[in-house]
């Protein structure tokens, strides 16, 4: 870790990067499929310190990072059709106080993206609210299942893209290749 010896209270480069990034390591291209953003912290009463503006800006930042992840992957895979590209989904979450929101983004085609709230839950603030863990557990279990599906899809799309590349290689016996080689 680069910041092991750094002072954790000094906020250098604050706001530039996402707070959490989930990378699917079993995929050939190390696809970044999950992003997370935490909006400020809590006051002593357990109320979120984040303003509505900060929550909105974190949501916009999350959407931009998710879009960039999709774009970088789709630019690498030029040999997929639009139907295959539309299957790819990136997930993100924001945490404001004790409220956890889960979002998803996919490519709709022609430079358009769909970004929306999938689920939300509230995390428990003390031991009397432990029943709230059930909602958080269900949300995280569903996210795990979706990321496993995404991992399988990435592997399939990578193979499909490779087949598309192989089909574009022209054989040596093609008459088009020999046009300039024949002496007159």
- Of 7-11, 81-85, 89-93, where does mean pLDDT reach its minimum? 7-11
Q: What is the pLDDT of residue 132?
A: 84
| pTM check: above 0.85 | no
pLDDT (tens digit, 9 = 90+) per residue, 34-52? Answer: 999 988 766 666 666 677 8
Classify residue 2: in a domain, yes or no.
Answer: no
pLDDT (tens digit, 9 = 90+) per residue, 9-32? Answer: 444 444 457 788 988 888 888 888
Q: How many structural domains is the chain composed of?
A: 1
- Which carries the bigger pLDDT value, residue 59 or residue 176? 59
| pLDDT level of residue 1 (50, 70, 90 thresholds) | very low
Question: HEC states along the chain?
Answer: CCCCCCCCCCCCCCCCCCCEEEECCCCCCCCEEEEEEEECCECCCCCECCCHHHHHHHHHHHHHHHHHHHHHHHHHCCCCCHHHHCCCEEEEEEEECCEEEEEEEEEEECCEEEEEEEEEEECCCCHHHHHHHHHHHHHHHHHHHHHHHHHHHHHHHHHHHHHHHHHCCCCCCCHHHHCCCCCC
pLDDT exceeds cutoff 60 at 172 = no
Classify residue 11: in a domain, yes or no.
Answer: no
Could you tell me the residue range of the domain that residue 110 belongs to? 20-41+48-164
Classify residue 55: in a domain, yes or no.
Answer: yes
């Amino acid at each position: 870790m680069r910041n092991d010896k750094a002072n954790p209270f000094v906020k250098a480069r604050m706001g530039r990067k996402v707070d959490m990034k989930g990378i699917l390591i079993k995929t050939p291209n190390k696809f970044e499929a999950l992003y997370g953003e935490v909006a400020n912290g809590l006051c002593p009463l357990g109320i979120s310190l984040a303003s509505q503006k900060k929550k909105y800006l974190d949501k916009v930042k999350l959407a931009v990072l998710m879009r960039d992840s999709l774009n970088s992957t789709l630019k690498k895979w030029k040999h997929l059709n639009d139907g295959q590209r539309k299957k790819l989904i990136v997930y993100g979450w924001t945490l404001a106080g004790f409220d956890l929101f889960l979002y998803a983004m996919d490519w709709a085609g022609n430079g358009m993206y769909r970004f929306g709230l999938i689920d939300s839950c509230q995390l428990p603030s003390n031991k009397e609210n432990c029943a709230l863990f059930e909602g958080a557990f269900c949300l995280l279990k569903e996210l795990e299942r979706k990321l496993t599906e995404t991992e399988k899809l990435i592997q399939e799309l990578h193979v499909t893209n490779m087949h598309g590349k192989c089909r574009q290689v022209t054989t040596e016996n093609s008459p088009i290749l020999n046009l300039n080689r024949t002496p007159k």
